[in-house]
Amino acid sequence: GGTVAFDNVVFAYDPERVILKGISFEVPAGKTVAIVGPSGAGKSTLSRLLFRFYEVTSGRITVDGQDISKVTQASLRSAIGMVPQDTVLFNDTILYNIRYGRPEASDEEVREAAQMAQIGHFVEMLPMGFKAMVGERGLKLSGGEKQRVAIARTILKAPPILILDEATSALDTNTEREIQAALDRVSRGRTTLVIAHRLSTVINADEIIVLEKGEIRERGTHGDLILQG
Ligand code: ADP
Ligand code: ADP
């Protein structure tokens, strides 16, 4: 299972200003759909609606045909894993932060997920960076490192549905390719919604949807969209 469908979704944070103006698309179970578009198009808003950070203004979002506004947030959140743009970490070890994705996971599984996300070397550290408070175990993480913690957490959780929001945007090019490989592995066979700025990062998506000013401008495979310019 895990087919996600947006059916004429309209959304406004503020009634005066409609952000998403009737969006319809489907992510078939196990497939990857990428939403691409300029800043402010409404891409992140789409992903927040699927995760139910906000409720749709009209229209509906379904998972396997079931309206998500009618399922509990807990069950929705156990089915969906999200790698957000900005990750907020707990003031505890990196291991603890990764395990949060699946508390019953074994130590070995947690370490394996950390390895896949290229952070196996600092899992015992505390991410808050206040050396004065925690001594040598304190580590100040970069945005990219925080994102890798979120990726490890998602790898461990292995949910049927994944939302990757600018998943590699905060990473440097060297680690980006390795992370991309890890994400490709974890998204294989899972229903995946990728939010991206550039077509070049979503070549393998089954469908790419170009969003502009809250409307779908174009859709197709990477090849289709490149041909259209
Ligand atoms: P490009 O499409 O060439 O990446 P953009 O203007 O979309 O150009 O983005 C430039 C940089 O700024 C990228 O690294 C992108 O990730 C980042 N960026 C742009 N808009 C946002 C946004 N709304 N949220 C987070 N990062 C953004
Ligand atoms: P994208 O991810 O494509 O850059 P967003 O979904 O982040 O676009 O934003 C779409 C529009 O919604 C933007 O005009 C942005 O300013 C607005 N917006 C985003 N988040 C909020 C919020 N929490 N409250 C009000 N407006 C918001």
Ligand 2 centre distance from Cα of residue 62 (Å)? 22
The per-residue pLDDT for 123 is 87
**Cβ contact 34:202 at 8 Å:** yes
Helices (H) and strands (E) in the chain, counts: 8, 10
Name all residues whose Cβ lies below 6 A of ligand 1. 38-39, 85, 166, 169, 197-198
Q: Read off the pLDDT of residues 18-63 as tens digits, 9 standing for 90 and up.
A: 999 999 999 999 999 999 999 899 999 999 999 999 999 999 999 9
Ligand with the closest atom to the CA of 172: 1
Q: Read off the pLDDT of residues 168-205 as tens digits, 9 standing for 90 and up.
A: 555 667 767 777 777 777 788 899 999 988 887 788 89
Q: How many CB atoms lie within 10 A of CB 224?
A: 12
Q: Atom 7 in ligand 2: which residue has the minimum CA distance?
A: 44
Name all residues whose Cβ lies below 6 A of ligand 2. 13, 19, 37, 39-45
Residue 85 Cα: closest atom of ligand 1:
25
- Record the pTM: 0.80
Query: C-alpha distances in angstroms, 181 versus 28, 36, 118, 120, 198?
Result: 22, 20, 11, 16, 17
Distance CA 148, CA 151 (A): 5
Q: Read off the pLDDT of residues 144-166 as tens digits, 9 standing for 90 and up.
A: 788 889 989 998 998 999 998 86
Asked whether the predicted pLDDT for residue 132 surpasses 80, the reply is no
Ligand with the closest atom to the CA of 37: 2
